[in-house]
Chains A and B, each alone.
Chain A
Amino acid sequence: MLRSTQINGSKFDMTQSLTNGEMRLPADWRDLFALTKPRVMSLVVFTALCGLLAAPGHVHPVLGFSSILAIALGAGASGALNQWYEAGLDAKMKRTAGRPLPAGRLDPQTALHFGVGLAAFSVFLMLFAANWQAAALLTVSILFYVLVYTIWLKPRTPQNIVIGGAAGAFPPLIGWVAATGSVAPLPVLLFLLIFLWTPPHFWALALFVRSDYAAAGIPMMPVVAGEPSTRRQILFYALIMAVAAIAPWPLGYTGALYGWCAAALSAVFVALSVQVGLRRTGEGDRMQPEKRLFAFSVAYLFLLFGAVVADHWLIA
C-alpha cells in the first residue's frame, strides 16, 4: 500500500526513498518491534533456554545469554520476513489487518531491510558467541521458516503447518548445540515434541478463525479438508505427540519428575483434543473447546519444557 502525505501543499509517496528528493516518516521503533512477533518469540526464547539449560556441562552466563539473544533475534527476523512477504494476505484477515505493514504504518522496503539485517546479525552473533554448528542450525531454521514454510508451503498445501512446524521446533535443539557443540537424542526428542505439537496447536486456532483464512485464500486444513477431517487429525497428532512427550522418560534421557509431568500434562492435552476431535458444531458455535485447547497448548509447552530443566537440575 502506498502512503501519501503533503509538504508545502505538494503530495508525495511516503514509500519513496530520500534519494529522489522526497521525504517520508521514519518507521516508529514500536512498529519494527511488532514486526518481530514478540509473543511468538517468547515461546521460542523459552524453549531455546530450556534446551541450553538441559544440556550437560557448564555454559558461561555471557555466552549462554548471547546464544539465546541470537536465537531470539533470528526468530524476530523470521517473523519480520514472514510479515513482509504476507503483507497482502494479512490485510485480508481481521486477526492480522492491524499489523504495521497492512495498516500502512511501515513501508515494505524498511521491513525487508530490517528482517534481512536482523537475520544476518543473529547468525553472526551465534557464530561469535557459541559455535558454527549452532550458527548453521540457526541459519537453516530461518531459511526453512521463510523459504520453505512462508513462501513455498503456506500458500500451496494444507500440510503447511505439519511440515513448516519443523521451523518452530529448532530452538531447543539450537540451544543445546550452542551449549555442547553437538546433537544428542534428548534435544532431537524435544524437536520432535514441538514438531508434533504444532498441528493440534495451529489447527485449534484455524478452526475458530477459519473464515479469516478462507477470506485470505490460505489453504489451512479446516478450509480445504473441512472441519470433521481437521478435528480427527487434531486428535491423531495429539495422541502421537503425547507418546513423544513421555518417551524421554522410559528411554532414560530424563527422570521421573519430567515423566510424571509429561504424563499428566499430556493426559489433559489429549482429553481436550478428544473434546475437540469428537464434537460437531452448528451455526453460531462459540468454539469454546477449540479456544481452550489452543490456550492450553501454549501453557503445555511452557510447563513441559520447564519440567525438562527442573528434572535435569534435580538429577544434577
Chain B
Amino acid sequence: MTDETPPEPFDEAEYRRRQRSRANLMGWILGGLAFLFFFITIARMMGPK
C-alpha cells in the first residue's frame, strides 16, 4: 500500500514519553515475573499440588 496522507510532524516529546512509559512498564513486568518465578519454584519445592 502506498501512503497518500501528508506527513505528520515528528513529536520528540511524545517519542520520549512513550519510550519512558514502555521502559517503566517493562521494568515492572520483569520485576513481577522474577518474583512470580521465585514463588512458583518455592511452591513446587513444597511438594505435590
A26 to B44, CA, bound (A): 38
Interface 9-mer from A52-60, A93-101, A143-151: A52-60
Contact string against A for B residues 8-29, beta-carbon threshold 8 Å, 1 for contact and 0 otherwise = 1111001100110110010000
Judge if A129 is at the interface, Cβ distance under 8 Å: yes
Choice from A1, A25, A59 contacting B18 with Cβ under 8 Å: A25
Known: A4-B7, A29-B25. A63 touches B18 (CB 8 A): no
Judge if A113 is at the interface, Cβ distance under 8 Å: no
What chain A residues lie within 8 Å of B43 (beta carbons)? 60, 62-63
Known: A4-B7, A57-B49. A26 touches B15 (CB 8 A): yes
Known: A2-B1, A29-B25, A57-B49. A66 touches B8 (CB 8 A): no
Pair A26/B8 contact, Cβ less than 8 Å = no
Closest CB in chain A relative to B13 CB, distance in Å: 11
> A6 — nearest CB in chain B belongs to which residue?
B7
Judge if A265 is at the interface, Cβ distance under 8 Å: no
What chain B residues lie within 8 Å of A2 (beta carbons)? 1-3
What chain A residues lie within 8 Å of B18 (beta carbons)? 25-28
What chain B residues lie within 8 Å of A23 (beta carbons)? 10, 15
Pair B44/A6 contact, Cβ less than 8 Å = no
Pair B36/A3 contact, Cβ less than 8 Å = no
Judge if A179 is at the interface, Cβ distance under 8 Å: yes
A63 to B11, CA, bound (A): 44
Pair B49/A63 contact, Cβ less than 8 Å = yes
Closest CB in chain A relative to B3 CB, distance in Å: 4
Contact string against A for B residues 36-49, beta-carbon threshold 8 Å, 1 for contact and 0 otherwise = 11011011101001
> B25 — nearest CB in chain A belongs to which residue?
A29
Among B21, B37, B43, B46, find the residue whose CB has the most chain A CB atoms closer than 10 A. B43
Closest CB in chain B relative to A144 CB, distance in Å: 27
Closest CB in chain A relative to B43 CB, distance in Å: 4
What chain A residues lie within 8 Å of B19 (beta carbons)? 26
Choice from A13, A57, A63, A66 contacting B3 with Cβ under 8 Å: A13
Contact string against B for A residues 1-34, beta-carbon threshold 8 Å, 1 for contact and 0 otherwise = 1111111000101000000000101111100000
Closest CB in chain A relative to B34 CB, distance in Å: 13
Closest CB in chain B relative to A82 CB, distance in Å: 21
What chain B residues lie within 8 Å of A6 (beta carbons)? 7-10
A3 to B10, CA, bound (A): 12
A-B CB contact pairs (8 Å), 22 listed:
A1-B3, A2-B1, A2-B3, A5-B7, A5-B8, A6-B7, A6-B8, A11-B7, A23-B10, A26-B18, A27-B18, A27-B22, A28-B18, A29-B22, A57-B49, A62-B36, A62-B39, A62-B40, A63-B40, A63-B43, A66-B36, A128-B40
Seen from chain B, the residues whose Cβ lies within 8 Å of a Cβ on chain A are: 1-3, 5, 7-11, 14-15, 18-19, 21-22, 25, 36-37, 39-40, 42-44, 46, 49
Q: Sorted from nearest, which 8 A-B pairs have the closest CB atoms?
A: A62-B43, A11-B7, A6-B7, A2-B3, A60-B43, A7-B10, A4-B7, A26-B18
